[in-house]
Each structure stands twice: as C-alpha cells, then as structure tokens.
Structure 1
Amino acid sequence: MPAQRKPQLLKQLESYVHKELQIISSSEPQFQEQRLQVYQDAFGCFIKEFKTYQPLLSAIKREYENTIAYQQDQIRELEPLRSHVRSVTEECERKVQARWEEERSEIGALKTEKHQLQRVIEAMKEKETATQAVVERLQSDLSAQYLQYREQRDARQLLIWQINDLTRGSVEEEHPADGNSDTRDPVQLQLSLKVCRRDLTTAQEELTRMKAEYWDLVPRRNWDALEQTHQQNLSKVESDHLSDLIDSESPEKSTLTVQEFRMALRTAFPLKSDEEINELVTSAQSDPDGSDDSISSQRLHSLLAESVEAGPPALEESEGQAAENPVQATD
C-alpha cells in the first residue's frame, strides 16, 4: 500500500512495532515471547480503536492468548521429560555400546575357545582311534593267551590223572594184599563230603524245628510214671475213703432208700459215671433183699468191700489211659 494512503492508526502501529522489535535482542533467552508481547500490545491498541468490533476481537485475542498459555504450560511440563528422555537415551546408547563392546570381546573369546575345543576334539578322536586299535590288539592277544592257558591246564590235568593212575597201579602191584585200602578218587571224596555236610545241615534244621514245636512236651516215660503215681495215690485215697465209709455205717440201719444208696455210691466211687452208678443201683434193686423203694445196706457194704479188696488199678490200665490222653504238659 502506498505511504500516502495509509491511515494514521496504521502508521502509528507499524512505527510502534518496528521500534519495539528493534529494542529486543535476538540473543535474549525469551526472545520469541517478547516479540509476541509487542504484537499483542499492537493488536490491543487496534481493538480499542474499533468500538463496534471490540467484543469480537477481544474474544478472539483472549482465546488465542489462552491457547498460547496452555501450550506454553504443556511445553514447560514436557521440558523436564524431554531432558530426561534425552539423558535416558544417551545412557541407553552408552550401555548398548558398552554391551556391544563386551559381547564383541566375548564373541571373539568364544570363537577362539571353539577353535581350541575343535582341535582338542580332533586330537581326542585320534587318540580314541589309536586306543581302540590297542584294545582290539590286546583282546586278540588275551584270547590267544587264554587258549594257551586252557590247553596247558587241560594237559596238566591229564598228566596228573596219568601220574595218579600209574602210581595207583604201581602201588597195587607192590601191595596186592592191600585190597581193602582206601584208594577212592579225591573228587568222589569231595562229593561225599558235600553230601555229608548237606545231610548234617538238614538234620540240624530238623532238630531245631523239633525243639521249636515240642518244647512244651514231656517224655512219654515221665508221663507214664506220673500217671501211675497219680492212679496209685487216687486209689489209695479212694480206699481210705471207702474204709471210712464202711467203718462209719451204722449197723442198726439195715435198709437205705434209693436216693441214699445213690448218694452213698457217688461218695464211694467219685470216678464212676452216672451210667455206672445207675447200673449198680439197678443191680442192687434186683437182689432178693432189695426193692424199688429200699435197698439193703449189706449190698452197699459188699460193694465197698469188693472195691477195697480190688486195690489200685494195674499198670497196663494206666498205660492205656496215658495212651488215650495227650502227653502235652500244661503251663
């Protein structure tokens, strides 16, 4: 626009902006903010001159200023993060570089070690091949030597047998009368010894088993002796008891009831069973002096006298009872 046609307000604003911008140095830390402030002041003067558009222009200016302030706040908040990101980035790059240097040195060392191990493996393979060849050769030598030893042993054993046969033949020729001498084969003697030892072991096991099974039993002769002594003592006690009963019977009482006769028999013969007692009672009732309700006391005296005269039971009876009873001792 030509200078002669510019309004007075425009000239003043341009002069103000130009003068203020000349004052601001570009080396200052807030150079951009100062330039923005100059233009804001010029725009404020422009708004004041136009009363009609002042509300709208003021709102536009205020919105721009708020946006700029918000952006500046965001920049201030992000500035420490940017510096932190920069420092972290530098630190990571430094660590990556150091790690790469370490890994490169480790890779070099591992490659060197790998080459060394490969050389060692090759040497061990060669050594293993040589060792295997030596082992095979030694095995063949050992097999051949074993065959020689076995043949030598067989020949020696055969020679020993021949010498034994010759010695036995010469002894028999020199001493033909000694036919009863023990000239058995040593191998046969060893076999006989093994059999004897096995039989001895079997006998010892059987003896141990017998002791374990029959430790609570007594010998038969001891049992027979004890049984005979018991029978004799029992017979003696019974005889004494019968004698007492015979002596204690009242001669005045000539008859007994069946119940009294039965009780007297039980007292006199405690070893008899109920069947035997009933037989004696029936036999007494069948006598001429007896009846169904009463029995003569003479019959009881005769039974008691017969029992006393009979004496103790014979040894054969006690042995028969002992054979029927077990010989096991009671605890």
Structure 2
Amino acid sequence: MSAGGQEGENTVAVSVKPSAKMVCWTGSDYLYAGPGRKPRFLRQLESYVNRELQTINPHEPELQELKLQVYRDVFGRFIEEFKTYQPLLCAIKKEYENTLVYQQLQIRDLEPLRCHLRLVTEECDRRIRARWEEEQALEREKQQLQKDVEAMREKETVMQTLVAHLQSELADQYLLYQEQSDAHETLIAKLNDLTSCSVKEEEPAHENTEGEDKDPVMLRLALRVCREDLTKAQVELNRIQAEYWDVVPRRNWETLEHTHQQTLLQLERLQGDFDQLRSEHDTLLELHKRGSMHAESDRSITEQMDESVHHRQNQLQSNLLKVLIHSDASESGTLTVQEFRAALRTALPLKSDQAIDALVASAESELDSSNDTIAYQRLYSLGANGKNGEFLSLVMRQSLEDRQLYISQLRVQLGDKGEVSVSDLRAALMCIDPALDSDALDWSLSLAFQVKKEELNQCDTLLDRETVLQRLVSVLPRQD
C-alpha cells in the first residue's frame, strides 16, 4: 500500500513469511493517526515482530539469523507499502545486505589468524615453561655442587685441626720420653756409684787408707763431669725441642697425607664433572636454539602455504560474489537460474558444463528454491556450525579437484625425473599453461624451492619431484 493511498480497497493481504501472515485494513487511520495514537499499520508490524520473536527458540544456533530475517521481512513489507520511496529504500536494503556479506567474509578471514595467535601463544608459553624448568634444574645442580665443595672444605678444616692436635700430643709424648730417659740414666749412674763403693770396701786396708785420702778429689771431679754432661744434655734437649716441636710421627703423617690427596682427587673429579655438565648444558642449549630456528623456519613455510590456500579460497569466493552482484541489474538480491548460470560461467570460465550444472543444482538445493529465482546473497551466509553452505563447499571441492588434475598434468610433463631443478619446473609450467604471467610463475617457483624471487636465477638446488608437487598444490597460479 503506498503512502498516497490506494485507500479505496477494503483489505490487502501481505505475506511476509510462509508461516506468518499480516492482514492490513485500509482506512483513514491505517497509515496516519491523531496525537497519542499509533496507526493500524504500525501496530500490525509491531504485533507481527513481537509474535515472531516469541516463537524463536533462544537456544537456536541460528538465533541472530532468524531474528534478522524477521526484521528483514518487516522492512520489506514497509518498502512495499511506501511505493514512492521504494527505489531508495531498496537501495539502502541492498547496501546493508552487501555490507553484512562483506563483514562475514572479513570475520572468516580473521578466524585463522585468531587460531594461529592462540597456537603461537601456547607454544611460547610451553617454551618459557621448559626453559624455566631447565634453569631450575641447573640451579639445583649448582647448589648441590656448592654444598659438596663446602663439605669438602669443612672436612679439610677438620683434618687440619686433627693434625694440629696430633702434633701437640706428639710434643707432649716427646717431653715425657726425655724425662723418662734422663731419670733412667740417673738411676744407672747411681747404681754404678754404689757398685764402685762396694768394690772399694773389699780392697786391703792400706789401699783403703790411700783411697780415703783421695776420695774428696775424685768426688769433686765426678761431680764436675756430671754437671757438664747435664748441661750438654739440657742444651741438646732445648735444641731438639726448638727444631722438632711441630714434628708428628711418620705413620700419622702418611695417613693424613693420603687422606688429603684423596680429598684433592675427589674435589678435582667433582670439578671436572661440573665442567663437563656445564659444557653439555651449553651444547644442548646451542642445539636447542638451532632446532628452534629450523622449526621456526619450517613452521613459517607451512603457515605461508596454508595462508596462500586460505587466501585463494577467499579470493575465489569474493570474485564469484562480485560477478553475481554485477549480474544483478535490478539490485534485488536475486537472479534467475539463467542469469545465475551465466554469472557462474563468467566467474569460472574453465568449468565444464557438468560442473556448472552441479553448482546450479547445489544452489537450488541449499536455498530450497521452487521458483525460477536464486537469492545468491543467502548462499554466503554461514551455517550453524560456522562453516560454508552446500554451494560454497562444492565450489571449493571442485577447485581442489581442478588443481589436483593440474598437478597430475605437471607430473606427466616432468616425466620420470627423480629430482627437479628450477629450469625444469619453469619449462613444465610454461608448457602446461603458456598464458601464465612472469610474476605468478616466479612466485610459484620461489615457494616451491623456498628461495626469494631474486635468487631464482642463481638457485641450482635439486629437489625431489613429489616434494615440489606437494608444495605447488597450495600456490599454483592457474585460475579455476
């Protein structure tokens, strides 16, 4: 119903959705009403929105899509009613729909990056934990070795204290020995004197008389000799004490020397083990760094190939959507089956008739279309699980099959060569696809041989044929 009227009709039945109908009554207050009152048309639209929203299960996976469809239907009914503004409102609706499709594609492009960021974060956390555990293990080993060295030093200090104690005991024993030796000599001298006196008493009387006259002189001489001998002995004793006060018995000295040598050998062995462990640790760190660098390089190449595959898939979908939008001359968001088939032929010129028919049938099946039109924008809506629908999945599957066929042709062109050079691969690619431009060719060769474009002419590397073909699966420049 237009804003200008068509008010002469009694009723107009408008179908917004197959499962819900709104009956619109014409009259003076259908589109317009006085102050404080809502027009009947507005009340019908609000009632329809509230009724449809209540029928939607809040746990439905496609909840937002279903709610959006309700408002989309209401907006379409509003556009049909105001025919004067219908072209402008249709253009606004189309731009919103295109923007939604574009935003969905952007979200799909960013999803792998988020997954990749999560994987990189987990890998970094794992490396940090591993490095921290290694450092903790080395720190514990270092502390244990320091404890062993401190124990050795304490044991050496105890040994030195024991040696000093033994030296002191030896000096005391030596003094006791000297005293006992002096006492023994004194007793022997006294015994000799007594023996001499007994012998003299047995001599004749005249001799006794003469001996008695000489006895004081002999005694004085003997006393002087004894005093001289005592002085010499005392001097010798003092000299020996001064020179050998810190001397220990040889047996004790050899025992202590052997223990000390064993301690030194054990300390040297522990120091050698520590140096070896530190060297092995440094070697392991170096090997770990090298392995990390190689792993990072391989991971970078794999991520680059995966990104290339994902980029080509998104580019194929985006180009196909652009062709479909360009083919929509009425800007209604729908195409006839013939227009849809012609757009597919334009976007995918190398597809066979059977492949195009399969794509058309897949689109009709996904949309459950019973008439001769296809709402192509709905084909780009994500499913409940966040994946592509039947139509886009078939497009990607056909693209993969075409590329595998291209790889098979390239394998035949390379022949029975076990290893392939840059020139061999360049010639094979040009033979299969003569229209291939130089930039795309250099890009494929650089990713296949993992070198920069500027280094292709100097690259003389020979790679296994199957390795090269496997890398080319994700980078071949041929259009689908």
Q: More helix by proportion, 1 or 2?
A: 1
TM-score range, shorter chain: 0.3 to 0.5
Which has more radius of gyration? 1
Higher relative contact order (CA 8 A, sep 6+): 1
